[in-house]
């Protein structure tokens, strides 16, 4: 598994960013169930939504990892990342609009997290295809 775009040879800064990215994702996987559990346990406490900020800290670290990775990439790698992100955005928007017409009638309503996951998968696939163009 890799961040969309580069892969293969990573420089020292990219390796550091890559490590941070995966550690933060691991942290998210740990913090999310903890936050859910705490929220359920203290269900009467009025500040319980604060528990849900726990996984957000991990999300911030994930984004920090991605930003560091992007800043450590050279110009061609940045282009690949940006192009693939643009493709993913365009495809996801089209898919969301197209599915929106059928939602609630032919198909059941789709959760936003599914749409986001779809966009991430499309980003990954687009990055692989874009990378091949420059090989």
Partner 1 sequence: VKNRVRDLRADREWSQAELAERLEVSRQTINAIETGKYDPSLPLAFRIAALFRNRIEEVFFPEK
Single out the segment in contact with partner 1 by CB under 8 A; choices: 47-55, 75-83, 93-101, 107-115. Answer: 75-83
Q: What DSSP assignment string belongs to 14-50?
A: HHHHHHHHHHHHHHHHHHHHHHHHHHHHTTT-TTGGG
Q: Is 9 in the site for partner 1 (CB under 8 A)?
A: yes
| Token pair of 132 as six digits | 């091949």
The only residue of 43, 46, 47, 75 in contact with partner 1, by rule CB under 8 A: 75
Shortest spacing between CB 23 and partner 1, in angstroms = 23
Shortest distance, position 17 Cβ to partner 1, whole Å: 14
Rounded Cα distance, 89 and 17, in Å: 23
DSSP symbol at 103: B
Binding range to partner 1, per CB under 8 A, among 2-10, 17-25, 26-34, 109-117: 2-10
Rule CB under 8 A: say whether 46 interacts with partner 1: no
The encoded tokens of residue 121 equal 């998968």
Instruction: Rounding to the nearest 10 degrees, give the CA dihedral for residues 113, 117, 119, 121.
Output: -170
Residue 44 touching partner 1 (CB under 8 A): no
Residues in the site for partner 1, rule: CB under 8 A? Answer: 6, 8-9, 11, 74-77, 79, 133-135
């Amino acid at each position: 598994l890799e961040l969309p775009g580069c892969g293969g040879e990573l420089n020292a800064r990219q390796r550091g960013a890559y490590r941070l990215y995966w550690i933060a994702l691991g942290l998210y996987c740990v913090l999310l169930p903890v936050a859910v559990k705490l929220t359920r346990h203290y269900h009467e406490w009025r500040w319980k939504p604060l528990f849900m900020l726990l996984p957000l800290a991990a999300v911030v670290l994930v984004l920090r990892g991605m930003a560091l990775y992007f800043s450590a990439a050279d110009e061609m790698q940045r282009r690949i990342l940006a192009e693939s992100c643009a493709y993913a955005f365009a495809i996801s928007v089209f898919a969301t609009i197209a599915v929106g017409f059928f939602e609630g009638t032919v198909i059941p309503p789709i959760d936003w997290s599914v749409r986001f996951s779809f966009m991430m998968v499309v980003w990954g696939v687009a990055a692989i295809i874009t990378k091949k163009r420059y090989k």
